[in-house]
Amino acid sequence: MAAAPTAESVRGALLRYRVMAFVVGITLLLFCVAIVLKYVTKSIESDSVIAIAHGWLFMIYVLLGLDLGFRMRWSFGRLALMTLSGMVPFLSFYAEHKVTGWVRAELGTPADAAVPAPPAG
């Protein structure tokens, strides 16, 4: 039974995931604004800076999401949902909220790092 997720490790993974979900969500919105500025109003030449930034941040988001998901032993369907929602504007914020809810439901207590951890076990 060694590989069961510990509350400590899940708490850390969840915090990392939530921070990155927020950052990626904001970056994605900025990317959308840049696309509108480039193709609709034609007021900027290139959106590649934000595109590259979003690409790398999204990659980290996927890595952290999978890390959390594997610690929680979630199904592949749930992992795919978490990953793909990071590509949809605004949905990433909802997904982050949802994922936090899943973790809390399964661990039975708020898993935020902000809450002092009671002794495990």
Partner 1 sequence: MLATRKWVALTILMLVLIVAFGLLSRWQWSRAQRDRVEAPPVAASQVFTSGSALPSSAYGVRVAATGTYDAAHQTLVAHGNGTFWVVTPLRTPAGEALPVARATVTGPDDPAVADVTPGAVAVVGVAQPFEGDPGTSSTLPAGQTDRLTESGLGLPYAVAGGWLALESQTPAPAASAVPVQPPVSAESSASIRLQNASYAVQWLLFAGFVVFFWWRMLRDDLRGADGAQPRAATEPVRDVY
* Sites of contact with partner 1 (CB under 8 A): 1-7, 48, 51-52, 55-56, 59, 62-63, 66, 70, 72-76, 106-109, 118-121
Where would I find the H helices in 5-86?
7-35, 48-71, 76-85
| Minimum gap (Å) between residue 108 Cβ and partner 1 | 6
CA distances from 87 to 57, 91, 108, 116 (A): 11, 8, 29, 33
Q: How far apart are CA 62 and CA 52, in angstroms?
A: 15
Q: Which is nearer to partner 1, 21 or 62 (CB)?
A: 62
Q: Which is nearer to partner 1, 114 or 120 (CB)?
A: 120
Q: How far apart are CA 67 and CA 29, in angstroms?
A: 24
User: Maximum distance among all alpha carbons in the chain?
Assistant: 59
| Minimum gap (Å) between residue 65 Cβ and partner 1 | 11
| Minimum gap (Å) between residue 29 Cβ and partner 1 | 18
Q: Which is nearer to partner 1, 4 or 40 (CB)?
A: 4
